[in-house]
Amino acid sequence: MAAPAAPKIASSSPLAGPMRCAAQVRENTVSVAQKINDFITSHRPEPVCNRCIAQGIGLSDYGAPPAPICVTLATTGDFAQQHGPCSLCHRPRKVIRRI
């Protein structure tokens, strides 16, 4: 027996807004993650800090948004995270670089 189809929500429904909003948040999250990846890669092999990444891609809340994405990138073999001077601001911070 086939599972029932998911109900369709009309665009005039009060639920349509939040559902559209959730999809937009996912889309924005993906694009921010890609921007962070691209920014770090463009400075390869030099290390950059979260604050410089945020400034470089135009985020207003410096430091916090790139941090969880950078931690995730550092778990791959393509990136390395360490404490050291940022190649852009030259301050000693937690930095990430593309290997």
Q: Which residues contact 34 (CB under 8 A, 6 or more apart)?
A: none
* Domain assignment present for 27: no
Share above pLDDT 90 across residues of the chain, in percent, rounded to a whole number: 59
pLDDT for the residue numbered 2: 56
More confident residue, 34 or 60: 34
* Domain assignment present for 11: no
* Domain assignment present for 9: no
* Domain assignment present for 10: no
Closest residue by Cα to residue 85 from 47, 53, 55: 47
Q: What's the domain range around 58?
A: 44-99
| Count of structural domains within the chain | 1
At 31, the amino acid letter reads S
pLDDT for the residue numbered 99: 95
In the predicted structure, residue 26 carries a pLDDT above the cut 80: no
- Give the gyration radius of the chain's Cα atoms: 19
Pairing relationship of beta strands 92-98 and 79-85 according to DSSP bridges? antiparallel
* Domain assignment present for 71: yes
pLDDT per residue as tens digits for the range 52-93? 999 999 887 665 689 999 999 999 999 999 999 999 999 999
pLDDT for the residue numbered 91: 98
* Domain assignment present for 39: no
